[in-house]
Chains A and B, each alone.
Chain A
Amino acid sequence: LAKTTQPISMDSYEGQEVNITCSHNNIATNDYITWYQQFPSQGPRFIIQGYKTKVTNEVASLFIPADRKSSTLSLPRVSLSDTAVYYCLVGDKGYSTLTFGKGTMLLVSP
Chain B
Amino acid sequence: KAGVTQTPRYLIKTRGQQVTLSCSPISGHRSVSWYQQTPGQGLQFLFEYFSETQRNKGNFPGRFSGRQFSNSRSEMNVSTLELGDSALYLCASSLGASGARQYEQYFGPGTRLTVT
Contacts and interface: CB of A to CB of B under 8 A. Distances in A.
Contacts of A99: 45
Nearest to B32: A96
Interface residues of B, number: 32
Contact of A98 (B88, B91, B105, B109): B105
Nearest to A34: B102
The prevalent SS among residues of A at the interface is loop
A96 B110 contact: no
A104 to B, nearest CB: 12
Contacts, number: 78
The prevalent SS among residues of B at the interface is strand
B107 A45 contact: yes
17 contacts: A41-B88, A41-B110, A43-B109, A44-B90, A46-B105, A46-B106, A87-B43, A95-B48, A95-B56, A96-B31, A96-B94, A96-B103, A96-B105, A97-B45, A98-B33, A98-B43, A103-B42
Interface of A: 30-32, 34, 41-46, 49, 87, 91-103
